Amino acid sequence: MSKSKFFIVVVACAVLSLTAGAVSVPVRAQKGMVASQNEIASRIGADAIKEGGTAVDAAVATAFALAVVHPTAGNIGGGGFMVYRPAKGEAIAYDFREVAPGKSSPTMFLQDGKYSSEIHHNSHLAVGVPGTVAGVHMAWKEQGKLPWKRLVEPAVALARDGFTVSDGLSRSLKSVMRTMQKYPASVAQFTKNGVPYEPGDTLKQPELARTLERIANQGPAGFYEGETALALEKEMLAHGGLITREDLKKYAAKKRVPVKGTYRGYDVISMPPISSGGVGLIEMLNVLEGYDLAKMGPGSSSAVHLMTEAMKRAYSDRAHYLGDPDFVKDMPIAILTSKDYAGRLRKTIDLTRTKPSSPATFEWSHESDETTHISVVDGDRNAVSMTYTLEAGYGVKIVVPGAGFLLNNEMGDFNAAPEITTAEGLIGTKPNLAEPGKRMLSSMTPTILTKDGQLFMVTGSPGSRTIINTVLETIVDVVDFGMNAQEAIDAPRFHHQWLPDKIQYEKYGLSADTVAELEKRGHTLQSGGAQGVAQVIIYNGKEDVLEGGTDRRASDGGAVGVPGRAPTKQTSAQR
Ligand code: DON
């Protein structure tokens, strides 16, 4: 066997052993569980639960810590969503998506009448008014127990005193330096005077520490007003950006009613618009409920075919109907999430053949691959599913001079410009065009499942448009295929988004047989890299224990359990 063949076999075996469950054992703990993309941050969240904090306390502490140790997506300069499901009472969705600044307009990404992707995604005009600090503060105020300052302080310490750079972070920083180079404050923050950080080095971020300290002491005013707001406005004014101190002061997080559905006896609670995630997820689950996926088996051509057909339909609907509910008044959410509509969609599905996606619709503009998800359950079985983002990795790559935090490029999630929908991927449909104070359409899908009124599963993932499908697959893997949290995370993933008309699947994730069968049914397939970084926690009601998984598609992640007895025992067995 040649050296290169041997290498391929070794890699294939590693992947197979991962997917065969040889190492798919979840972390188990009774009193609480925090799963995030960085173990340091998960531990900080778990400590909050240990000290008597709630799931929301833990999520807030984890989110601030991620803004320091996971700068590619953890943030205070971005936005996101939190779905909170208390053990008792109604679930709530906190919407802290960025908004378009007051001087925005639908044509703001045009230059001399021509659309500019550079302006849309990589300029000061790509920055939305950040929502994270307002959002986590709102959730904490309503659901937290520990003092606010106690939750921000671990992040202050990490930024001030530094933390050890991992292999993954070192690689990631070296790679982003190519695009960060033009922003001196970013270079100052993420290199040692221009020399890259190596694994084992200590990364300190003193300006970020001071901003976090202001947030710890003053709450959201430490971010949206005073010194921090002034620094952000100054950066904008100097470089043609739009965000003013008035925009910052006006920013408001919103409470929304989660979108709800059912799947094979489980209740599904997810993020409503401005995310397309919950609506898309429930639409797909409703369609799939009509088929016996368990009998077909994971990775079988029939299961992949049917899941793909559900994906194609839901992603088409996403593109046609969804936008900011405060601006788009006629979204057919009740229809899209109804069983009746799913039944009608099933009638359009041929079990042996796919129909090509219609070229009358369009591809979607580019979205990058960096976001991050936090799943938390505390001892009372209150649950948090939170996804937040800077949009691209390190957002727009601009660190605000003097304030030490990275800015998002979330305006790129608005459609490009009115009436320029092209086959190359530009969209000009109305619901998602930029307007002052409007939120941009998202795919983030923080989700919680319950059974008979009790918590069952918390799930979510980064990955742009693939997010909804990654979340779908974790649910199908657990509910239909009986996998545990770690197995559901390890299981290979695939994605179809209507257009482009192809199934993308993780390398080695589908067998040659399955690929051949799918091709026979008319599908085009393309294998590629990893899809998403899921954070899954399952409540095993029989044993009254939480089971969390760690997604090894990314380095540094970790589910961290809180040992010790939970204060309340759940009653009915759920699995
Ligand atoms: O809100 C959205 O859907 C995107 N801005 C999220 C970006 C993303 O997930 C990148 N992730 N890995």
Give the ligand 1 atom nearest the CA of 276.
Answer: 3
Counting every residue, how long is the chain? 575
Distance 389 CA to ligand 1 centre (A): 6
370 lines ligand 1 (CB under 6 A): yes
- Ligand 1 center to 344 CA (angstroms): 30
pLDDT at res. 367 = 47
Q: Which strands form 447-451's sheet, in the order they lie side by side? A: 27-29, 545-548, 537-540, 454-459, 447-451, 266-270, 259-263
Among 371, 387, 408, 432, residue to substitute to test ligand 1 (most atoms within 8 Å of Cβ): 371
- Distance in angstroms (rounded) separating the CA atoms of residues 476 and 337: 17
Distant-in-sequence, close-in-space partners of 446: CB < 8 Å, separation ≥ 6: 81, 82, 83, 270, 271, 277, 373, 385, 386, 387, 460
Q: What is the mean pLDDT of each run of 10 residues along the chain (575 residues)?
A: 35 42 82 98 98 98 98 98 96 98 97 94 98 99 98 98 97 96 97 98 98 98 98 98 98 98 98 97 98 98 98 90 89 96 97 80 50 97 98 98 98 88 64 94 97 97 95 98 98 92 95 98 96 97 95 92 72 34
Q: Which atom of ligand 1 has the smallest separation from the CA of 532?
A: 12
pTM score, whole prediction = 0.93
**Domain boundaries in the chain?**
46-255+373-432, 256-366+445-535
Is the CATH code 3.30.930.10 the one for domain 256-366+445-535?
no
Pinpoint the alpha helices (H) of 355-397: none
Tell which atom from ligand 1 comes closest to the C-alpha of 412: 5
The pLDDT value recorded for residue 512 is 97
Q: Which two tokens stand for residue 162?
A: 């530094």
Residue 72 neighbours by CB distance under 10 Å:
25
pLDDT given at position 181: 96
Q: Is 371 noted as a catalytic residue in this protein?
A: yes
pLDDT for the residue 320: 82
CA of 545 to the centre of ligand 1 (A): 31
- Amino acid occupying residue 240: G
Nearest Cα neighbor of 163 from 48, 34, 66, 61 is 66
Q: Is 533 in the pocket of ligand 1 (CB under 6 A)?
A: no
**Extended strands (E) in 435-564:** 447-451, 454-459, 494-495, 503-506, 525-528, 537-540, 545-548, 558-562
Q: How much distance in Å is there from the Cα of 1 to the middle of ligand 1?
A: 42
Catalytic residue among 62, 337, 371, 459: 371
| Tokens encoding 438 | 């409007």
Output helix, strand, coil percentages for the chain, rounded to the nearest 5.
40, 20, 45
Whole-number Å distance between alpha carbons of 48 and 382: 14
